[in-house]
Amino acid sequence: MKVIVIGNGMVGFKFCEKILTRGIPDLQLSVFGEEMLPAYDRVHLSEYFAGKSAYDLSMAPVQWYADNGITLHLGDPVLEIDRGKKVIRSFKGVEESYDYLVFATGSSSFVPRIAGTDKEGVFVYRTLEDLNLIARHAPNCRSAAVIGGGLLGLEAAKAMLDLGIQDTHVVEFAPRLMPRQIDDKGSAILRRQLEEMGITVHTNRNTAAILGNASITGMIFTDGTILAVDMLVISAGIKPRDELAASCDLDLGPRGGIVVNDSMQTNDPSIYAIGECAVHQGAVYGLVAPGYEMAEIVAEGLAGRVKTFSAFDMSTKLKLLGVDVASFGNPFADEEARSIVFEDNAKGIYKRINISSDGKRLLGGILVGDASEYNMLLQTCRNALTLPPSPEALILPRGEGKSSASGVAALPDDAVICSCEGVTKGAICAKTLEGNETVDALKKCTGAGTGCGGCVPMVKDLMVHTLKANGKYVRNVLCEHFAYSRQELFDLIKIHQLQTFDEVLDKLGKGHGCEICKPAIASVLASLWADMILEKGNDTAQDTNDRFLANIQKGGTYSVVPRIPGGEITPDKLIRLGEVAKKYHLYTKITGGQRIDMFGAHVGDLPFIWSELIAAGFESGHAYGKALRTVKSCVGSTWCRFGLHDSVSYAIRVEERYRGLRAPYKIKSAVSGCIRECAEAQSKDFGIIATEKGWNLYVCGNGGSKPQHALLLASDIDSETCIRYIDRFLMFYIRTADQLTRTATWLNKMEGGIDYLRNVVVHDSLGMAEQWEREMQALVDSYRCEWKAAIENPEIRKRFAHFVNAPEEKDPTVRFDELRGHKKAADWK
Amino acid sequence: MTAKIAVTWVKACRVEDVPINGGVCVKLGEEQIALFYFTRRNEWFATQNECPHRRQMALSRGMIGTAGDTPKVACPFHKKTFSLVTGECLNGEECTIRIYPVRVDEGVVFIGI
Cα–Cα separations (whole angstroms), residue A346 to A369, A396, A786, B103: 11, 15, 45, 67
Interface test with A, best of B21, B41, B77, B108 (most A CBs within 10 A): B21
Task: Give the CA distances from residue A66 to residues A29, A63, A762, B89, in Å, rounded to whole numbers and listed in that order.
Answer: 11, 5, 63, 18
- H runs (alpha helix) in A39-103: 54-57, 62-67
pLDDT above 50 (res B31): yes
- Under CATH, domain B17-112 is a member of which superfamily? Rieske [2Fe-2S] iron-sulphur domain (2.102.10.10)
What's the per-residue H, E or C state across A270-329?
Answer: CEEECHHHEEECCECCCCHHHHHHHHHHHHHHHCCCCCCCCCCCCCEEEEECCEEEEEEE
User: What's the gap in Å between the CA of B1 and the closest CA on chain A?
Assistant: 21
| Domain edges within chain B | 17-112
Same domain, A117 and A210: yes
Q: Can you tell me the mean pLDDT for A609-617?
A: 97
Confidence of residue A719 (pLDDT cuts 50, 70, 90): very high
- Write out the residue range of the structural domain in which residue A521 sits: 486-542
C-alpha distances in angstroms, A536 versus A317, A629, A663, A722, B38? 50, 25, 20, 36, 16
Q: How many CB pairs under 8 A join A and B?
A: 110
Q: How far is B59 from chain A (nearest CA, A)?
A: 10
Is the CB of A807 inside 8 Å of chain B's CB atoms?
no
Per-residue model confidence as pLDDT tens digits over A521-545: 999 999 999 899 999 889 999 999 9
In angstroms, rounded to a whole number, what is the distance separating the alpha carbons of residues A785 and A618?
Answer: 9
Contact B67 A514 (CB under 8 A): yes
A637 assigned to some structural domain: yes
Q: How far apart are CA A95 and CA B97, in angstroms?
A: 37
Q: How many CB atoms lie within 10 A of CB A718?
A: 10
Report the percent of chain B where pLDDT is more than 70. Answer: 96
Determine contact: A829 vs chain B, CB below 8 A. Answer: yes
Q: What is the mean pLDDT of residues A389-396?
A: 78
Q: Dihedral (C-alpha) A591, A596, A598, A599: value to the nearest 10 degrees?
A: 0
- Which CA distances in Å does B46 have to A402, A798, B35, B41? 54, 21, 4, 15
Q: Determine the 3-state secondary structure of A131 from DSSP.
A: helix
Establish if A683 belongs to a structural domain.
yes
pLDDT at A306: 87
The burial of A821, by beta-carbon neighbours within 10 Å (0-12 exposed, 13-18 middle, 19 or more buried), is given as: exposed
Nearest residue to A40 (alpha-carbon basis) of A127, A113, A146, A137: A127
**pLDDT score of A405:** 41
Q: Is residue A135 scored above 80 in pLDDT? A: yes
Is A47's pLDDT higher than 60?
yes
With residue A233 as reference, give the H or E element that holds it.
strand A231-234
- A142 and A53 in a single domain? The answer is no
B/e letters for A771-800, b = 16+ CB within 10 Å, e = fewer, are ebbebbeebbeeeebbbebbbeeeebbebb
- Judge whether B58 is closer than 8 Å to chain A, CB to CB: yes
Name the residue among A514, A555, A813 with its Cβ closest to that of B66. Answer: A514
Check if A826 contacts B (Cβ < 8 Å). no
Residue A93 predicted with pLDDT over 80: yes
The C-alpha of A540 sits at a distance from chain B's nearest C-alpha, in angstroms, of 5
At residue A564, what is the residue type?
Answer: I
- Res. A636 pLDDT band, cuts 50 70 90: very high
Q: Say whether both A174 and A225 belong to one domain.
A: yes
pLDDT at residue A406, as a whole number? 46
Domain boundary among A236, A266, A291: A236
What is residue A398's predicted lDDT score, i.e. its pLDDT?
56
User: What is the residue-wise DSSP string for B58-84?
Assistant: -GGGSEEEEETTEEEEE-TTT--EEET
User: A517-529 vs A501-508: helix axis angle to the nearest 10?
Assistant: 110
| Chain A touched by B49 (CB under 8 Å) | no
User: Are residues A125 and A207 both part of a single domain?
Assistant: yes
Whether residue B3 is predicted with pLDDT greater than 60 in this model: the reply is no
Q: Burial, A25: exposed, middle or buried (Cβ in 10 Å; 0-12, 13-18, 19+)?
A: exposed
Tell me the CB-side half-sphere exposure of residue A819, using CA atoms within 13 A.
11
Q: What is the CATH number of the domain that holds A717?
A: 3.30.413.10
Residue A319 CB neighbour total at 10 angstroms: 12
Phi, psi of B25 (to 5 degrees): -105, 130
Q: Summarize the confidence of residues A578-592 as an average pLDDT.
A: 96
B39 Cα to chain A: minimum distance (Å): 10
- Report d(CA A696, CA A689) in Å as an integer: 5
Average pLDDT of span B43-65: 95
What pLDDT sits at residue A414?
83
DSSP state of A567: G
Do A635 and A719 lie in one domain? The reply is yes
Number of domains in chain A: 4
Q: What are phi and psi of A324, to 5 degrees?
A: -70, 135
In CATH, what number is assigned to the domain containing residue A115? Answer: 3.50.50.60
Specify burial of residue A216 (Cβ count, 10 A radius: 0-12, 13-18, 19+). Answer: buried
Q: Is residue A143 domain-shared with residue A73, that is, in the same domain? A: no
Q: Which of A221-235, A366-380, A631-645, A813-827 has the lowest mean pLDDT?
A: A366-380
The alpha carbon of A425 is separated from its chain's Cα centroid by a whole number of angstroms, namely 26
Segment A617-633 mean pLDDT? 96
Q: Which of A61, A513, A556 is closest, CB to CB, to B56? A: A556
| Res A642 pLDDT > 80 | yes
Q: Which has the closest alpha carbon to A296: A22, A588, A31?
A: A22
Instruction: Check: CB of residue A478 under 8 Å from CB of residue A739.
Output: yes
Would you state the pLDDT for residue A459? 87
Give dist(CA A446, CA A359) in Å, integer.
Answer: 35
Position A400 scores a pLDDT of 36
Instruction: Give the residue with greater pLDDT, A698 vs A49.
Output: A698
Q: In sequence order, which residues have a C-beta less than 8 Å from that of residue A812 and are 6 or more positions away?
A: none
How high is the mean pLDDT of chain A? 90
Among B21, B63, B70, most A C-beta atoms within 10 A, so best to mutate, is: B63
Query: For residue A75, what are the contacts with CB-CB under 8 A and spacing of at least 6?
Result: A33, A34, A35, A36
- Indicate whether A804 belongs to any domain: no
Pairwise CB contact (< 8 Å): B77 & A543: no
Choose the final residue of a domain: A236, A256, A282. Answer: A236
- Out of A55, A556, A811, name the one closest to residue B93 (CB): A55
3-state secondary structure of A791: helix
| Inter-residue contact A657 to A723 (CB < 8 Å) | yes
Asked whether residue A661 carries a pLDDT value surpassing 90, the answer given is yes
Q: Which residues of B touch A519 (CB under 8 A)?
A: 63
B65 closest CB neighbour out of A502, A514, A799: A514
- The answer on A200 and A127 residing in a single domain is yes
- Phi, psi angle pair for A583, to nearest 5°: -60, -40
As a whole number, mean pLDDT of residues A118-139 equals 90
Looking only at the bridges linking them, the beta strands covering A816-819 and A822-825 are antiparallel
Instruction: Give the percent of chain A with pLDDT over 90.
Output: 64
In a domain, A358, yes or no: no
Residue A36: DSSP 8-state: S
pLDDT bin (cut points 50, 70, 90) of residue A289 is confident
Position A706 scores a pLDDT of 74
Report if residue A466 sits inside a domain.
Answer: no
Work out the pLDDT band at A86, boundaries 50, 70, 90. Answer: very high
Same domain, A587 and A723: yes
Which of these three, A761, A781, A801, is where a domain ends? A781
Please report whether residue A715 resides in a domain: yes
Distance to chain A for B62, nearest Cα, Å: 7
Task: Return d(Cα A385, Cα A302) in angstroms, integer.
Answer: 35
Residue A703 sits in the same domain as residue A771: yes
Pair B110, B9: CB distance under 8 Å: yes
Mean pLDDT of A283-294: 88
**B15 interfaces chain A, CB cutoff of 8 Å:** no
- Non-local (6+) Cβ contacts of A596 within 8 A are A561, A562, A564, A577, A588, A589, A590
pLDDT-derived band at B4 (thresholds 50, 70, 90) equals low
Looking at the domain assignment, is residue A634 inside a domain?
yes
Question: Given an 8 Å threshold on Cβ–Cβ distance, is B21 in contact with A540?
Answer: yes
Are residues A104 and A56 part of one domain?
Answer: yes
Is the same domain home to A561 and A628?
A: yes
pLDDT band at B5 (very low <50, low <70, confident <90, very high): low
| A632, pLDDT greater than 60 | yes
Residue A661 and residue A560 in one domain: yes
Closest CA to A178 of A198, A160, A200, A153: A153
Judged by DSSP in three states, A438 sits in coil
